[in-house]
Amino acid sequence: MELQLIPMIIARWLNPIQIKIINEIGGVYIVYKDAIYSTTYSSIISKIREILEFPIESRDEIDDDFFIRKIDKIHSNILKI
């Protein structure tokens, strides 16, 4: 019995070999570029974003809509398989 699962990797960074392997096994990946930290650090994060222009944000909870927006394209492609 096979479960017919598709590996899905969510990472901050993947090297070319990892990407090649994920593609070869029929998996999908999302490179998530924004760093997320607790709102405890909101003032520091604002300064980092303003001065260094880093992709960083503060939030204590990640709602379903936020996550769905990030993976919607990949999810649509998976449903076509």
Task: Specify if 52 maps to a domain.
Answer: yes
**pLDDT tens string 55-79:** 898 988 877 887 777 777 777 777 7
Q: From CA 61, how far away is CA 54, in angstroms rounded?
A: 20
pTM value is 0.56
**pLDDT tens string 7-55:** 888 888 899 999 999 999 888 888 878 888 999 999 999 999 999 998 8
Number of domains in the chain: 1
Task: Specify if 74 maps to a domain.
Answer: no
Task: Specify if 79 maps to a domain.
Answer: no
Task: Specify if 39 maps to a domain.
Answer: yes
Q: From CA 41, how far away is CA 9, in angstroms rounded?
A: 27
Task: Specify if 2 maps to a domain.
Answer: no
Task: Specify if 70 maps to a domain.
Answer: no
Task: Specify if 1 maps to a domain.
Answer: no
Q: pLDDT at position 7, please?
A: 83
Task: Specify if 12 maps to a domain.
Answer: yes
